[in-house]
Structure formats: structure tokens, C-alpha cells
């Protein structure tokens, strides 16, 4: 089994704005596309065009209708992937040490060469952030596109996770939460960003920025009827329609 580092030099992660996310799933598609051709096992798909398709995804978007107190109902799109927890149970439960948390940046990764596909990490993760690749038979998870953010061959603007780069609404933000002056730290402080399910004690790094309450629609006055009972042509039309 792998021990967790007591501290990390940085805490790279995502701040996701639930007020801005439109649920377009562009982050899901870009994540799938980028990771399908990486140096590891790739994101496999079993029978993708058949009757029972099965595939691995590192990022998903869930959609809910919520009713805030004293506010109108609203739709919230909730993206979810690995939260790169400080006390990651998926790491400590791994029997081969394939799961690990890096000391230099806090990213939780899987060494696919050591993974035996037992699924214990998926059972231990309270967020459902790990998936079994149906083809490679190893566990897969979000890597924060570690092969992008340190790739000097890419333009500087592309050295961020694929999901962040492709988000058309600018709802996803990447940075170092260990730095209080970083963009993600300031966003979290200004918007009251929160951790997902803190009661689990995993201390997730990623933060969610809450949606702002929607304005209540103004009351529309009802039109006063012209007459209680229709007369003339309208009366004839009303009787004719009743017979249909």
C-alpha cells in the first residue's frame, strides 16, 4: 500500500463555477478525446456502437433541479471528476501501491503498470471518481492532464487541463490552492467556494463556486374577460367547438 505525503509543495486543482456551467458536456468530450490517445492505456470503449456500449470517462456532468429557500427553482449542472484529496482513501487502500499522491503538486495518479484492476480504490472513493477501463482492465481517473501542464512543447495557453481549455463558458479554473494569491484561491474566497462532502474527511482540493440565486419572475396581471358569456359570432363558435 502507498502512504500519503504529510504535505505537498503545491495543491493543483480545479475551481468549478456552478453559476456559469451550462451543462454542454464540452469538458467531458475534450477529456475523453485527450486521454484516449495518451501514453498509458487510453480510455477504452467496449462495443461503442453496439446494443450495450460501455466506456470509461474521467469527467462527467450531472444535472439537477434545485429549489433554494425563498427563491425560484433553478437548474444546476454539476461537473464531477477526481478531487485529488489530501487524505485520499483510494491511495491508502491500494494493495499494490499503484495509486499515489505526488509530493510536488498533490496530484493523485495511478501507475497503470502496477494496477491489478481489483477495484478497491473505486469502493474507497466516496465521490465515484474512479472507473474501470473495460478494455485495459485497469482503474482510470482524472490526472489534471499532467501530460499537458508540464509539456513545454505546447503553447503556454494550452498547458492547462483539456477540460479547462475547452470550456466555452469559462466555468472551470485551474491553479494552485496552496498559494493564497492564486486565481483559484481568490475565486474561492470571493465566491464562498466549498468542498464536496467535507464530512467524509478526505479533504478534497477541488472547490465548487455556488450558483447565485435566480431572480423571481415578476407577477403578470391576468387579463379581465370582455364578457362573462360570449355573444354573437363568439357564442356560435364556442358552441361549435364544444360539439367537436
pTM of the model: 0.83
Q: DSSP secondary structure string, 184-224?
A: HHHHHHHHT-B-SSGGGS---S-EEEPPPPPPPPPPPPPPP
Q: How far apart are CA 99 and CA 92, in angstroms?
A: 8
Grid cell, residue 201, equals: 474527511
* DSSP code at position 241: H
So what's the architecture of 12-209 in CATH? Answer: 2-Layer Sandwich (3.30)
pLDDT in tens, the chain (244 residues): 678 999 999 999 999 999 999 999 999 999 998 987 644 456 778 887 888 888 888 999 999 998 877 778 889 999 999 999 999 999 999 999 999 999 999 999 999 899 999 999 999 999 999 999 888 889 999 999 999 999 999 999 999 999 999 999 999 999 999 999 999 999 999 999 999 999 999 999 999 999 987 777 677 777 776 667 777 887 888 888 888 7
Q: Look at residues 79, 78, 29 and name the one whose alpha carbon lies nearest to residue 55.
A: 29
pLDDT of residue 228: 72
Amino acid at each position: 500500500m502507498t502512504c500519503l505525503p504529510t504535505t505537498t509543495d503545491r495543491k493543483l486543482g480545479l475551481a468549478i463555477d456552478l453559476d456559469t456551467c451550462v451543462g454542454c458536456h464540452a469538458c467531458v468530450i475534450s477529456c475523453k478525446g485527450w486521454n484516449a490517445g495518451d501514453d498509458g492505456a487510453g480510455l477504452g470503449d467496449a462495443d461503442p456502437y453496439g446494443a450495450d456500449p460501455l466506456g470509461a470517462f474521467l469527467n462527467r456532468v450531472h444535472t439537477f433541479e434545485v429549489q433554494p429557500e425563498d427563491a425560484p427553482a433553478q437548474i444546476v449542472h454539476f461537473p464531477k471528476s477526481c478531487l485529488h484529496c489530501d487524505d485520499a482513501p483510494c491511495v491508502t487502500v491500494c494493495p499494490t501501491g499503484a495509486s499515489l499522491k505526488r509530493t510536488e503538486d498533490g496530484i493523485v495518479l495511478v501507475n497503470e503498470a502496477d494496477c491489478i484492476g481489483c477495484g478497491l480504490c473505486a469502493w474507497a472513493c466516496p465521490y465515484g471518481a474512479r472507473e474501470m477501463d473495460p478494455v485495459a482492465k485497469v482503474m482510470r481517473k482524472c490526472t489534471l492532464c499532467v501530460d499537458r501542464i508540464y509539456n513545454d512543447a505546447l503553447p503556454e495557453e494550452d498547458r492547462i487541463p483539456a477540460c479547462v481549455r475547452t470550456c466555452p463558458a469559462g466555468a472551470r479554473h485551474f491553479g494552485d490552492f496552496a498559494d493564497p494569491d492564486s486565481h483559484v484561491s481568490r475565486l474561492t474566497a470571493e465566491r464562498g467556494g466549498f468542498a464536496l462532502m467535507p464530512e467524509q474527511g478526505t479533504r478534497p482540493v477541488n472547490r465548487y463556486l455556488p450558483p447565485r440565486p435566480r431572480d423571481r419572475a415578476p407577477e403578470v396581471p391576468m387579463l379581465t374577460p370582455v364578457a362573462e358569456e360570449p355573444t354573437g359570432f363568439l357564442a356560435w363558435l364556442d358552441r361549435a367547438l364544444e360539439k367537436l
